[in-house]
Amino acid sequence: MDFKLFKEMLKRIFFVIFTAAVLACHAAPKPQPVVEGITNVKPDEQQQLVIKEVVNLIESYNYKKIQINDSISSLILDKYIKSLDQGKNYFLASDIKEFEKYRFTLDDDFKNGDLSGPFYIYNVYAKRLNEYFTVSLASIRSKFDFNQNDTYVYDREKMPWATSAATLNDTWKKRVKYELVNLNLAGTTEAKNVETLTKRYQNLQSQTSKTNNQDVFQILMDAFTESIDPHTNYFNPSNAVAFNEDMSRSFEGIGARLQLENEVVKISEIIAGGPAFKGKQLSAGDRIIAVAQGDGEFVDVVGWRLDNTVTKIKGPAGTKVRLKVIPVGKEMSSKPVIIEMVREKIILQDQSAKKKVKTINSNGKTYKVGVISLPAFYADFKAANAGDKNYKSTTRDVRLLIDTLKNQDKVDAIVMDLRGNGGGSLVEAISLTGLFIDKGPVVQVKDLRGKIEVDEDENAGVTWDGPFGVIVDRLSASASEIFAGAIQDYGRGIIMGSQTYGKGTVQSSIDLNKLVNPSMLQRVASLVTKNKTTGTSPAGTTPADINLGQINLTMAKFYRVAGSSTQHKGVTPDVVFPSVYPMDKIGEDTEPSALPWDVIASSSFKPVANLTTVKAGLMKNSEQRINGSLDFKYLKQDIADLKKRDAEVSVPLNEAKLKAERDAQESKSLARQNDLRALRGLPAIKKGEKVTKQDTFDFIEDESLKVMGDFMQQSGSYVMNLGSF
């Protein structure tokens, strides 16, 4: 893609900020109220500079053309409070009432570099946390009656804020009781459980006490940028390093992204190509409660800072790490599974497309289908720019795979599996599309000035002109949506699966240090040296030590060649399957600040076929199979069960009742597994017995191949411009 327009914009940004930043630190912020009984966290001078510059960038260059006003201020306050206390477990109603004075002032404060209000709110939160630790640690050794029929309300988000400390104390004590019940059900002794929970809370208290102003500033900036749009993000210096390492696509570890949810580390994504992906022992949603190095002792990590847990799990390639995991869908009271993995160096840009050949039967006729699994749109641009003719790229890899599938495997059709593919290189999405269509438009881009650029595949000819299909799911995003959308608009193949994510915006990364006059960095350095209250910078700070972080700024939108935006709605498959992922929890349309879906004029492109009639028949056949499929029946039940659990806000504290529920769930899960194994001619497994990797069955892929079989059965009824099927 030609990004000359964005480069021109960035040059303008650099000029504007460079000349304006001379006045950046002249306005004095208001005195920050002091919260008694704790060490107060305060902002530093560079954060005061950053907030002003980010306001300026967003108002001048964000695609929304938005002004930071009272309405935005109100959104920021609500998001900030929610990010600190989503479950309403710490703040009192009196605290919230006091914070109301900031509702319509944050916009003006940010423009003046004044962060005193948000930092005061955080310090009140920190005080409530200290009170929580004091009450909880004292409660752990209480003699609880686990035969009572009381309940713990763990989700108070829709309830009023607590009006008294006594109410919060009761909630905190019940939480301790719930955690002890979980430990009891895991099968350990009462004394050991008390010890484990005490250490857990002490660790949490210790980690919380280490919160610094960079942590607080990041929480605030997340609330700020998320009020603008989901993909405009600020990264403080340490997070900027982590982000850029991620973009460089290499690290050493197990290959899983983690997030903190209710003070428990949860796997949010399994990275293709890593040990976790290859071993298939971990899944998104699994929770990690303890980590051991090699054969060493397990360390309980519940309540730890996320970055500290990540440090424990990461490590040199070739070393062993063990994890205690509560699998997704299981209660925290479930017995943890111990998973052992050897860390590897994971080079994300070297995640390669893989192929396999499947044989299917459709109405008595046998077909060979090549399945290409593509985990990301990758490219080694550094090697390409250096003149390496064998540089790694998605398009080059897929072209070689297609050549093998055509000439050696002699396949009748090809399916591109983009499930879980979150995107990557737009250039590769365009060139990969060119393997299946003749030259022509692939994607349109509209910038904040309304200028539209059409990006084309300029290489004549196709690599594969036979029957083609694409599998997508809710996690297929960005470049995946551009590829799938182009294939659909051209009528080049059949899209199968569930509605995609809907990420149709373009971001540019801006290093804030490059926007500020060097003399201003000198001024900030001298102020930081004089100010010892924040404790984040040593005496003798120099301009080279000042790191303002970076911002990823939304500056354009993607559109399909037919004119429809991929934003918000994503790509709707031609043949729709039930989604493995909750559609109301994952996706751009779940983000309140997401840009809307819209349409621009169609580009000048020539479809290769009209598949409208064919698609209707494929959908009808697929629906009939799905309605009679045991796999899809259980998937639909799982979706219904998940919705039911999401509606629950409390849990019983009766140990016998919880154990009965857990045992019933485990029995149900085992019976399901054995039903499905019997269907496939596999022997039944017993309770606690692990399923081997060879026994796993991909029913989404299986149904997709059956759709392709139907597709080829109807191939004689139409002709493409690329040639007859």
Residues known to be catalytic: 478, 489, 503
Q: How many Å from the N-terminal Cα to the C-terminal Cα in the chain?
A: 32
Instruction: Return the number of other C-beta atoms located less than 10 Å from residue 33's C-beta.
Output: 14
Among candidate residues 512, 432, 441, the one with its CA nearest the CA of residue 479: 432
Give the span between the Cα atoms of 565 and 236, in whole angstroms: 31
Other beta carbons within 10 Å of 235:
21
Read off the tokens for 407: 């000439």
How far, in Å, CA of 214 to CA of 692, rounded? 45
3 state SS of 658: helix
Among 658, 650, 668, which Cα is nearest to 184's?
A: 658
| Full strand arrangement of the beta sheet holding 413-417 | 354-362, 365-373, 413-417, 468-472, 494-497, 575-576
Cα 585 to the center of its chain, rounded Å = 12
Cβ(87)–Cβ(157) below 8 Å: yes
DSSP state letter for 180: H
Catalogue the long-range contacts made by 460-465 (C-beta closer than 8 Å, 24 or more residues apart): 462/434, 462/435, 462/436, 462/437, 462/438, 462/722, 463/399, 463/402, 463/403, 463/435, 463/436, 464/402, 464/406, 464/414, 464/435, 464/436, 465/720, 465/722, 465/723
| Backbone angle region of 249, left / alpha / beta, with phi > 0 → left and psi within -120 to 50 → alpha | left
Q: Which of 446, 296, 478, 449 is nearest to 377 (CA)?
A: 478
Sign of the alpha-carbon torsion through 36, 37, 43, 44? positive
CB 483 within 8 A of CB 476: no
| Burial class of residue 91 in the structure, from the number of CB atoms within 10 Å of its CB (0-12 exposed, 13-18 middle, 19+ buried) | buried
Partnered with residue 496 across adjacent β-strands are 471, 575
